[in-house]
Chain A
């Protein structure tokens, strides 16, 4: 158990809908990273927050957004969902920035029908 929690475990929804994925980092970790894992693209970095502020952006679509709250938990919002958004979404946390080890949560499996 990495200490990173994610809810829900599974999410099934329809195209055009909006969902929110939640992540609680390990106790004391200030950085939260979101990754998307699909069969064709592999594991790809989406966005990173550090102590409430956005610090880095990867291949995140404009339909996706995220935030980190004062208690350090983070939410990833996915809107106007398309079939191609079906994937595993992972959250990882680390103590700080840069070279700190990232610990991954168990993931949320999103299925868009």
Chain B
């Protein structure tokens, strides 16, 4: 079983839709969870960083962690064409800081 699983999509939604992106992970010891956004031909940029279980909100973005189910989610409200990108979930895999990434979900928001 892979440490982090993410549906690669692609996902296509109309502008204004609510988007739900999800990952599952295998190791219950993981504590720190991140979502990165990667535009085509660019490096990943950090969107959200959460610790343990619960929700974190930043503008139109909400990150959710359910440690009992080993499930992490990113919700995007009022999606915009500029949100079209690949979204990568990431988990802090070791004490030194190395990240374990999902394969990414490619999102397209149509005007």
A residues near B (Cβ < 8 Å) are 2, 4, 31, 33, 35, 42-45, 48, 50, 55-56, 58, 90, 92, 94, 97-107
Q: Is the CB of A44 within 8 A of B101?
A: yes
Please give the distance in Å from B21's CB to the nearest CB on chain A. Answer: 15
Please give the distance in Å from A65's CB to the nearest CB on chain B. Answer: 17
| A43-B88, A101-B49 known; A90-B43 Cβ under 8 A | yes
Minimum CB distance partner of A109 in chain B = B41
Report Cα–Cα, A2/B44, bound state, in Å: 10
B residues near A (Cβ < 8 Å) are 32, 36, 42-46, 49, 88, 92-104
State the majority secondary structure of interface residues on A: strand
Q: Is the CB of A33 within 8 A of B43?
A: no
Give the tally of cross-chain contacts (CB within 8 A): 63
State the majority secondary structure of interface residues on B: loop
> Most chain-B CB neighbours within 10 Å: which of A43, A50, A99?
A43
> Most chain-A CB neighbours within 10 Å: which of B32, B44, B94, B97?
B97
A–B pairs, 15, beta carbons within 8 Å: A2-B43, A33-B97, A35-B99, A42-B101, A42-B103, A44-B101, A56-B98, A92-B43, A97-B97, A98-B95, A98-B97, A99-B92, A104-B36, A105-B43, A106-B42
Report Cα–Cα, A110/B20, bound state, in Å: 33
Report Cα–Cα, A50/B103, bound state, in Å: 26
Please give the distance in Å from A49's CB to the nearest CB on chain B. Answer: 10
Please give the distance in Å from B29's CB to the nearest CB on chain A. Answer: 14
Q: Is the CB of A102 within 8 A of B99?
A: yes
Q: Is the CB of B97 within 8 A of A31?
A: yes
Q: List, in ascending order, chain A residues with CB within 8 A of B97's CB.
A: 31, 33, 48, 56, 94, 97-100, 102
Q: List, in ascending order, chain A residues with CB within 8 A of B101's CB.
A: 35, 42-44
